[in-house]
Amino acid sequence: MKYIKKSFYEMSITELASDFAKEEINPKAASLLYRHFYKEKSTEACAHHNLSKKAKAYLSDHYSFDLPIINNVHISEDLTVKFLIEFNDGEKVESVLIPFQNKYTLCLSTQVGCAMKCSFCFTGTQGLKRQLSTSEIIGQFILAWNWLKINRPMESKTQQLKNIVFMGQGEPLHNFDAVKKACEILLDQHGASLGCQKITISTAGYLPGLKRWNEEMPGVNLALSLHSVVEEKRNELIPINKRFPLNEIMDYIRTIPLARKQYIIFEYLLIKDFNDSIEDAIACGEYLKDVQAIINLIPFNPFPGSLYQKPDAKTVLAFQQKITEYNIPALLRTTKGDDILAACGQLNTKINSLTSLNSSPAKRL
Ligand code: SF4
């Protein structure tokens, strides 16, 4: 008899254990499987001798271990790697592996396209096509880890993939359940065992999702796309600001208790002659001076057809200097992977599939 199979990568360890218990299989099989697939990151079937015959037969009949496929890889001059990931139904997203200070950070996508339509964002031009499932989010992590193991074997040992940011395509809090479960899987101590501080979820300010954060989300870092504290400017950049204004978002964020060492990251995309003036920096500093904040300053990365320009280096430094006068740490994020359109706001699967990005420095494997 053929059964409809569940994806293993969709299951929390508790769900697996309870599924096994119902079949009178030792629930400890769940932790063995987590170790095999998430700690050792094996893509082979689990032949662990502690798994009973019954457990193996049940797994083979009822579970799928299929992963999405890597349709395309582009490698930047700075060694950033952009993957085009293809799912069962042919839909595609991008995830980006970013080398930084002897570690890798993986930027994961959470939706095919995005409904938020931010005016500076390539993905926003696609509109929302569909949500990703937990297994499709986790699949991006497993694929990137294995790519690293095969293609940069030395680095996969010494510069492991330790940080996850949900900053790829899609608004993560608009796909709350799948993202929450993906975090729980990545945090589980039997598996990948990432620390809460190693995972950051970025939101454009989707209040309904944010309102579930306090009660439901494990204590991972929160990043808010700020980009301006001036209402008209933020409305232009992030249209959902009209529905969920910044003041309402901040009122809610203030109610989230911060665990020790946890802080709120504010992302600020600096756009030439739009939000990069000293007046903008003063407005931002005044707005955030009483918040436990870190600001990431990101010079805008233009993409084909974008409305905005990159600011010059002198303006960026002056903005940073003004913010630090408010005792707010302002980190200048160096642009990674902009030669392969892998930098912030540049992801767009349509362009990746259709254009010849593999010209110039980007390689196609
Ligand atoms: S910036 Fe993020 S939230 Fe805004 S359109 Fe792009 S992917 Fe969506």
Q: Structural domain boundaries of the chain?
A: 6-64, 69-364
Q: Residue 225 and residue 228: Cα distance in Å, rounded?
A: 9
What count of Cα atoms within 13 Å lies in the side-chain half-sphere of residue 157? 2
* Any atom of ligand 1 within 6 Å of the Cβ of 124: yes
Among the ranges given (34-48, 63-77, 313-327), the one the predictor scored with the smallest mean pLDDT: 34-48
pLDDT of residue 353 exceeding 90 = no
361: CA distance to ligand 1 center in Å? 27
* Any atom of ligand 1 within 6 Å of the Cβ of 116: yes
| Structure confidence at residue 351 (pLDDT) | 44
Contact criterion met (CB below 8 Å) for 73 and 82? yes
* Any atom of ligand 1 within 6 Å of the Cβ of 346: no
336: CA distance to ligand 1 center in Å? 18
pLDDT of residue 236 exceeding 50 = yes
Atom of ligand 1 nearest to the CA of 124: 5
pLDDT of residue 123 exceeding 90 = no
Residue range 27-37: average pLDDT? 92
Mutate to test the pocket of ligand 1, among 123, 202, 341 (most ligand atoms within 8 A of CB): 123
* Any atom of ligand 1 within 6 Å of the Cβ of 123: yes
* Any atom of ligand 1 within 6 Å of the Cβ of 121: yes
184: CA distance to ligand 1 center in Å? 23
How is residue 26 written in tokens? 């030792």
pLDDT of residue 334 exceeding 80 = no
Instruction: Name the CATH code of domain 69-364 (choices 1.10.10.10, 3.30.420.40, 3.20.20.70, 3.40.50.620).
Output: 3.20.20.70
341: CA distance to ligand 1 center in Å? 15
Please choose, from the candidates 212, 176, 183, the residue with its C-alpha nearest in 3D space to the C-alpha of residue 200. 183
Please choose, from the candidates 279, 152, 284, the residue with its C-alpha nearest in 3D space to the C-alpha of residue 224. 284
pLDDT of residue 213 exceeding 50 = yes
Please choose, from the candidates 27, 1, 24, 26, the residue with its C-alpha nearest in 3D space to the C-alpha of residue 11. 27
| Structure confidence at residue 348 (pLDDT) | 60
The letter for the amino acid at 324 is T
| Structure confidence at residue 347 (pLDDT) | 59
Choice between 338 and 316, residue whose per-residue pLDDT is larger? 316
- Mean pLDDT (the chain) is 87
Choice between 215 and 263, residue whose per-residue pLDDT is larger? 215
Contact criterion met (CB below 8 Å) for 188 and 9? no
Backbone angles phi, psi at 262, to 5 degrees: -85, 145
| Structure confidence at residue 363 (pLDDT) | 29
| Structure confidence at residue 45 (pLDDT) | 74
Residue nearest to atom 3 of ligand 1 (CA): 171
Contact criterion met (CB below 8 Å) for 194 and 187? yes
| Structure confidence at residue 157 (pLDDT) | 59
pLDDT of residue 298 exceeding 90 = yes
113: CA distance to ligand 1 center in Å? 8
The letter for the amino acid at 255 is T
* Any atom of ligand 1 within 6 Å of the Cβ of 348: no
Please choose, from the candidates 229, 239, 307, the residue with its C-alpha nearest in 3D space to the C-alpha of residue 268. 229
- Confidence tier at 124 by pLDDT (50, 70, 90): confident
Residue range 115-126: average pLDDT? 87
* Any atom of ligand 1 within 6 Å of the Cβ of 108: no
Active site residues: 94, 344
Residue nearest to atom 4 of ligand 1 (CA): 118
Contact criterion met (CB below 8 Å) for 94 and 109? yes
CB under 8 A, 24+ apart: contacts of 197-200: 197/221, 197/261, 197/262, 198/162, 198/163, 198/164, 199/163, 199/164, 199/165, 199/166, 200/163, 200/164, 200/165, 200/166, 200/167, 200/265
Residue range 167-183: average pLDDT? 97
- Confidence tier at 315 by pLDDT (50, 70, 90): very high
| Structure confidence at residue 278 (pLDDT) | 98
pLDDT of residue 357 exceeding 60 = no
pLDDT of residue 311 exceeding 60 = yes
* Any atom of ligand 1 within 6 Å of the Cβ of 170: yes
Distance from chain centroid for Cα 168 = 5
pLDDT of residue 202 exceeding 90 = yes
Write out pLDDT tens, residues 7-17.
999 999 999 99
Fold type of domain 6-64: DNA polymerase; domain 1 (1.10.150)
203: CA distance to ligand 1 center in Å? 8
Choice between 349 and 318, residue whose per-residue pLDDT is larger? 318
